[in-house]
Structure 1
Amino acid sequence: MSEQANVNEHVDEENEHGQPIDEDSDELDQEDFGPFTLSTPGDWTAKRLGDIKRLITRGKQPTYADEGVPVINQECIYWDGWHFENLRYLDQDVAEDWKDKYFPQKGDVILNSTGQGTLGRAQVYPDGERRAIDSHVTLLRTDDKLSPHFHRYFLESHLGQALLYSMCVNGSTGQIELSKTRLDLLPVPLPPLEEQRKIASVLYTVDRAIQKTDEIIEQLNCVKTGVVQTVFRRGTKSHDTFQTTGSGEYPDQWNLVKFENLIEDTRYGTDNKSNTDKDGYPTFRIPNIVEKRITTDDLKHTPLTHDELERLRLKEGDILVIRTNGNPNYVGRCATFSNKEEPFVFASYLIRLRVDESRVRPAFIREFLNSQRGRSEMSGWVRSSAGNYNLSVGAIERFNVPVPPLDEQDKIVERINDVERSIRVNERDRDRLQRLKQGLMQDLLSGEVRTHDTDIEIVDEVLQHG
């Protein structure tokens, strides 16, 4: 059975009641843990972690070496899985003197122990490989009453994170760390072990579906990179002959044109002070240029005279280019404007390009400027000053742009759009799965929705880890 099929069999995100498993849950009991209470169904129990632990230990701070025994650090542990590509190393001879408790066993829960936003990320140790843990990582090993995968998902849940941060953390913001002593006091719900495994299996299956969707998105992004490179170098038609310039190869049938000969108008945006009171006209700024799109999120407004509005008002097909930023990777990024009912203008950190559409499509210019080929052409014109990187109108006008016939420009844009549509579809699927997972964790880990009388296959990974 595929993991996606397993998700669809056991959870139905779209049912009208919003209940993905069995709604027939028992009435919840309140279990007291000092100032905290944990709500559990009648046949669940709850224990403090210290009552069911076999080992809770922080790692040891190593003197890192270029090779030797791998050392797990906080960059190895994310909610989306293990990132062993971030392992560091401890000299083999030094590692011989380290105690066994610093080397995880298969099925241990490994938890990040320091730093706001980092602290609390957890994964189940997946194998028997000999790796050490450093002093910013905590190892949790419990008895057979607690499934490691169930425990790890409880720690990821809103309740688990809230309890962890409220009960087990020392220090001030940014310098916080887990207290091993307080971890002993952390309450953990204990459904019957079979039910723990069913819950963990459902969540694990959704996680695997998310990971597979992420892999598809990553592959599609690689495809997109290849498509963009190809269409701006070889075109979309069967071209036989090519010419080479300083910025790359392109078909002989294309024209290499100075950008100034393709532009009808270039203009810097307004430097009038914008506001959040909606006084004036909606104004696009750098944060509104996102992944080749212009967003209307967090819009500010700017008062303008009638003449200023006439000069700065955007029209369908106008291209907005980021002209200055502290990060050189942002300079030159651009997006095309689609017609809106109300007048929109733009701020001084942006440049408006209005092209001659009888010669070039705005969408083609947008794709070119955002491509590796366009970025390469642009790089020689970006200047650094006082910690910022800047691109002027005069520099843009000097760009060399390879210009295909209009019908081929359309095909180039469409080919890129096809790949991007596939990426967006998969991103929506991933977002849907992530929302589903959050809802399932809320329902299943609290006992509000039960799996005890539901036929759920326990996945091998959950069963192997206890």
Structure 2
Amino acid sequence: MNSRNDRTDLVDTWNGKVEEWPKVRFGDVCEIVARQVDPKLDQYAKLPHISGVNIESGTGRLLFLNTAAEDKVTSNKYLFYSGDVLYSKLRPYLRKALAVDFQGVCSADMYPLRVDRDYLDPEFTAWLLISDSFTKYADGESRRARMPKLNREQLFNWTAQIPPLSKQKTINSYIKWQFDKYIRSRMAAKAQLEAAETLPAAYLRSIFQGPEAESWLILPLGEAGEISSGITLGRRVSDRETRPVPYLRVANVKDGHLDLSDVNEIDATEAEIEKLRLKSGDLLLTEGGDADKLGRGTFWEGQIPDCIHQNHIFRIRFDPSRFCHRFVAAQIASPYGKAYFLAHAKQTTGIATINQKVLSAFPLMVPPVREQKRIALMLDARRTEAERVHSALADRLKAIERLPASILSRAFIGAR
């Protein structure tokens, strides 16, 4: 077993001798052994079944494994054996290859490769097939077809400088050591990111389900603010004069923010515009969608002049001397608010909706307006910090997920 210092210097050990490695045509040192079998037959149904979805992109890691029977496959599959290398020929840019140490069946979208053991180690071959050098070649060749796919001739015509078997095993050792570190780092980064994603809800829960909230006055939302629906598409306006104005659709109203990148227009009368024109501080809530999106909404800040809203969006307007719209929006978006809407929504297959009656009855917790503003400012600060932390962790995870290509590039710096 190599020591840590030895492993750190492994690449330096072989880089200086790359020019001595023979350049080999891939088809001269391996073959495709593609015997098709019926996975419904008992002797094959019990075998492990592998397709592209089983292999992690860019790492060659086996993610999960079922039998052919468990996967309920019915079409013919290729039989493979221990020591073979499986390569996914569809969309080579996904970098999916695996050296197997068991017998099984694989998708017809994979090549079961049997290497010449005098020249190639199976594990080294799998790494080679997801390396930058091979992937660039395979991706370029496969894009000649409508569906990116590497055919046998293209696969076998690739050439690379192949080190001796002893060096291949050294390279294997280096890659596995680096990939073990990569996997641990990625798992830690994902756990940190997932923890960061729970922060906004945790902040809201601490406010609206904390001990302080128990002393606050509760008012039905319909008494606290004026609730109105929006304009109906396809309505008849007879001979009344209209003009085009921007209007918000459900697609524009997200959970905690507005997406104004694509705002449509609708012809409306002056009376409709006057009645439905949004004002800064208006709270906007969608009437339904997926169950986890109930109570989805945010507030309007006057981003677009003369903007109105669709009838599938509720507008709630408050007296600013009594209510802080940011505080109300945060409360409705909190686990407290989500729980209310989930409990009172009308649910059909895949869809959950609320009506104006349910919305009007929402039990709004109302501390003094000064306290509402203080809490809203505090939550804004916490949300900003949570977004900063989340962004930093997401960037870190992206950087970590680029490591496999870097590791393989360093390992195969001599492959051409």
TM-score (norm 1): 0.58
Give 1:377's match in structure 2, choosing from 331, 340, 363. 340
Compared with structure 1, are the counterparts of its residues 166 and 415 closer, same or farther at alpha carbon in structure 2 (3 Å cutoff)?
A: same
Deviation at 1:396, TM superposition (A): 0.8
Give the equivalent residue in structure 1 for 2:280.
316
The answer to whether 1:135 aligns with 2:116 is no
Give CA-to-partner distance per residue, 1:287-321, whole Å, 9 cap, x none.
22345221122332222223322223323332322
Deviation at 1:342, TM superposition (A): 3.4
Give 2:261's match in structure 1, choosing from 297, 322, 329. 297
Unpaired runs of 5+ residues, structure 2, are 1-7, 9-18, 71-76, 236-242
How many pairs were matched up? 361
Assess if the C-alpha contact under 8 Å between 2:297 and 2:333 holds in 1. Answer: yes
Give CA-to-partner distance per residue, 1:160-218, whole Å, 9 cap, x none.
4453354596xxxxxx9x68xx3343354636769xx8xx99x9899878776545322
Deviation at 1:397, TM superposition (A): 0.9
Give 2:30's match in structure 1, choosing from 41, 53, 56. 53
Larger Rg: 2
Deviation at 1:233, TM superposition (A): 2.0
Assess if the C-alpha contact under 8 Å between 2:24 and 2:161 holds in 1. Answer: no
Give the equivalent residue in structure 2 for 1:101.
80
Equivalent-residue separation in structure 1 for 2:145 and 2:298 (angstroms): 47
Give the equivalent residue in structure 1 for 2:387.
420
TM-score (norm 2): 0.64
Assess if the C-alpha contact under 8 Å between 1:109 and 1:122 holds in 2. Answer: no
Assess if the C-alpha contact under 8 Å between 2:205 and 2:335 holds in 1. Answer: yes
Give CA-to-partner distance per residue, 1:81-106, whole Å, 9 cap, x none.
578564324689xxxxx99824566x
The one-letter amino acid of 1:232's match is F
Q: For structure 1, which segment, 373-382 or 156-165, has the greater mean C-alpha deviation from structure 2 after superposition? A: 156-165
Deviation at 1:378, TM superposition (A): 0.3
Equivalent-residue separation in structure 2 for 1:61 and 1:367 (angstroms): 58
Compared with structure 1, are the counterparts of its residues 188 and 309 closer, same or farther at alpha carbon in structure 2 (3 Å cutoff)?
A: farther
Compared with structure 1, are the counterparts of its residues 390 and 123 closer, same or farther at alpha carbon in structure 2 (3 Å cutoff)?
A: same
Compared with structure 1, are the counterparts of its residues 218 and 280 closer, same or farther at alpha carbon in structure 2 (3 Å cutoff)?
A: same
Deviation at 1:423, TM superposition (A): 1.4
Deviation at 1:395, TM superposition (A): 1.4
Give the equivalent residue in structure 2 for 1:219.
195
Equivalent-residue separation in structure 2 for 1:285 and 1:398 (angstroms): 24
Give CA-to-partner distance per residue, 1:422-466, whole Å, 9 cap, x none.
2134335656888x89xx99xxx9xxxxx9xxxx6x4xxx79xxx
Compared with structure 1, are the counterparts of its residues 282 and 210 closer, same or farther at alpha carbon in structure 2 (3 Å cutoff)?
A: farther
Assess if the C-alpha contact under 8 Å between 1:70 and 1:89 holds in 2. Answer: yes
Compared with structure 1, are the counterparts of its residues 287 and 206 closer, same or farther at alpha carbon in structure 2 (3 Å cutoff)?
A: farther
Give CA-to-partner distance per residue, 1:389-427, whole Å, 9 cap, x none.
432222111122344541234434543443233213433
Equivalent-residue separation in structure 1 for 2:182 and 2:307 (angstroms): 42
The answer to whether 1:151 aligns with 2:118 is no
Give CA-to-partner distance per residue, 1:306-352, whole Å, 9 cap, x none.
33222233233323222144x44344321333332533332233222
Give CA-to-partner distance per residue, 1:127-174, whole Å, 9 cap, x none.
x765845325624565649864353144996764453354596xxxxx
More helix per residue: 1 or 2? 2
Equivalent-residue separation in structure 1 for 2:281 and 2:159 (angstroms): 57
Compared with structure 1, are the counterparts of its residues 270 and 76 closer, same or farther at alpha carbon in structure 2 (3 Å cutoff)?
A: same
Equivalent-residue separation in structure 1 for 2:314 and 2:256 (angstroms): 15
Equivalent-residue separation in structure 2 for 1:296 and 1:150 (angstroms): 46
Assess if the C-alpha contact under 8 Å between 1:283 and 1:302 holds in 2. Answer: yes
Equivalent-residue separation in structure 1 for 2:203 and 2:83 (angstroms): 44
Compared with structure 1, are the counterparts of its residues 83 and 376 closer, same or farther at alpha carbon in structure 2 (3 Å cutoff)?
A: farther
Compared with structure 1, are the counterparts of its residues 305 and 91 closer, same or farther at alpha carbon in structure 2 (3 Å cutoff)?
A: closer
Give 2:154's match in structure 1, choosing from 166, 185, 199. 185
The answer to whether 1:122 aligns with 2:85 is no
Give the equivalent residue in structure 2 for 1:259.
221
Give the equivalent residue in structure 2 for 1:17.
none
Structure 1 counterpart SS, 2:154: coil
The one-letter amino acid of 1:282's match is P
Compared with structure 1, are the counterparts of its residues 382 and 424 closer, same or farther at alpha carbon in structure 2 (3 Å cutoff)?
A: same
Compared with structure 1, are the counterparts of its residues 266 and 184 closer, same or farther at alpha carbon in structure 2 (3 Å cutoff)?
A: same
Compared with structure 1, are the counterparts of its residues 56 and 365 closer, same or farther at alpha carbon in structure 2 (3 Å cutoff)?
A: farther
Compared with structure 1, are the counterparts of its residues 296 and 332 closer, same or farther at alpha carbon in structure 2 (3 Å cutoff)?
A: same
The answer to whether 1:285 aligns with 2:263 is no
Structure 1 counterpart SS, 2:274: helix
Give 1:338's match in structure 2, choosing from 301, 326, 336. 301
After superposition, residues 16-27 of structure 1 pair within 5 angstroms as: none
The answer to whether 1:408 aligns with 2:378 is no
Equivalent-residue separation in structure 2 for 1:104 and 1:140 (angstroms): 9
Assess if the C-alpha contact under 8 Å between 2:284 and 2:299 holds in 1. Answer: yes
Compared with structure 1, are the counterparts of its residues 82 and 149 closer, same or farther at alpha carbon in structure 2 (3 Å cutoff)?
A: closer
Compared with structure 1, are the counterparts of its residues 252 and 426 closer, same or farther at alpha carbon in structure 2 (3 Å cutoff)?
A: same
Deviation at 1:259, TM superposition (A): 1.7
